Chains A and B, each alone.
Chain A
Amino acid sequence: MRAIAYKEWLKLRSWLGFILAAHLLFSAWLYLSIRHQFRIEHAEMIYYQANHIGRIFYEDLRYVPLLTGALIGAVQFLPELIRGRLRLSLHLPTGIVPLVFAHLGVGLAALLVFLAFDLAALAITIGTFFPAAFIASALLTAAPWVLAGIAAYLGAALTLLEPDRRYQAANLAISAGVVWLCHRSGQYQAYDLVLIGAAAFVLLLAPASLQAAHRFRNGGV
């Protein structure tokens, strides 16, 4: 398993460096954009807009986890599949379940680091300009976006591992459906009562990949 983690690290590290740089730039942008609002507008009006009109000042963050998850999934699994390398790994005597989960674990760990970074940047930015209650509100609002990022990663694995085009289309539709569920509302804290349900949908995507991996190992192209 350590060898697989090392192999994945070697494959992903340049991409992870690129993604890290992008997230650093984004968090700087997020901070500056909110600071800019406070410079051009009276703070009390911004509070009113944030709380009562429901303007989400960190709206730019919405699709960042989604893009990050999809990108990590693509760069982790596309090269394996294009060159058929994964089929070799899947025949290792470790068994297909630990092997698939080891691959997913590496990708998920990297993704979670970025998502945690995004949430920390959001909390610090909001906490700089607003009282603590707004930080809690922002994190709750961003929670489904984060879930969408995890769904995008697991969905990319589920779709790319599947060798049969018909199943692949179905898997893509299911993954897109879960991502869509996490982006249903533009209101802040709209998911407060359904976060656990949304998380359950996302978690179900993880074991779903196993069947695709089985088919891939057994000769699908």
Chain B
Amino acid sequence: MTSRFLSWLSLSLLTVALAAIVLPMVYAIAYSPKVAPTHMFYSPVKQDFVFREHRGHHDFTYATASGETFDRRAFETSLPFIYYKNMDIWGLLPVEIGGQSFDLETIRDARQVFELKSREVEDRHPSVPVYALLNSDPDKAGLSFPEDVFRMMADRMEFVNVDVNRVDPELTERFTAALTAEGFAFPARLVAGKQTILKPSTKGSSLLMPVGRRSMSNGWTTVR
């Protein structure tokens, strides 16, 4: 009798748990309204994060992280570098931020917009802690991946040659010595840098130690 109860219990648990996963998915496929992703920006005007959330059926909420809500126009004027064309049409340019004035030409020529997806936040996505130390070669345009990759060990920056999958003691020693000489405290807390060659140039990788930061470039072993 106990075994039948145990069996019934496990089947019931499985049924309920699977239904709890599958049914909301089916419901979402069948009934969810069309929604756009929520976008969060840093507003240099409000000195706070502002976001736009789509609730379906063209119903948007514009708000700050602290809970203040406002209309679309106020949202756009809080982000003058993104909505600068509307700002211009509304006669709100030049805009003054932090004691500096920005007109249409300045914004158009100098603005840069970076997007950070939630999955790109450190520790929010899996990654293998082996990195390429990219280097801008002054003699040629574009970037290429080096044959040596590095990993941060407890007491050193260790290089592995990818062609033979073996540690390169000479490079390891050279880079570890350069870092140590500049006061880098092992182990590294974070290695940051865009691991791609689809960019015009690089300033190397940032290595975060328990306190502070050093940046390195391949080739010159430059520590900044």
Contact = CB atoms under 8 A, between A and B. Distances in A.
Interface of A: 42-48, 50-52, 96-97, 128-131, 133-134, 137, 140, 170-171, 174, 177-178, 181, 187-190, 192, 201, 204-212, 214
Contact of A52 (B6, B15, B147, B196): B196
Given A48-B145, A131-B130, A207 B14 contact: no
Contacts of B151: 131, 133
Interface stretch (B40-48, B80-88, B89-97, B157-165): B157-165
A96 B3 CA distance: 9
A94 to B, nearest CB: 13
Nearest to B147: A44
Contacts of B196: 48, 52
Given A201-B14, A201-B17, A187 B126 contact: yes
A201 B19 CA distance: 13
Interface of B: 3-4, 6-11, 13-15, 17-18, 21-22, 126-130, 132, 145-147, 149, 151, 160, 162-163, 165, 195-196
A44 B126 contact: no
A134 B151 CA distance: 12
Contact of A214 (B4, B11, B130, B149): B4
Given A187-B126, A201-B17, A131 B160 contact: yes
Nearest to A137: B128
A48 B10 contact: no
Contact of A189 (B6, B21, B126, B160): B126
Given A96-B3, A181-B21, A133 B145 contact: no
Nearest to B126: A189
Nearest to B166: A131
A148 to B, nearest CB: 14
A177 B165 contact: no
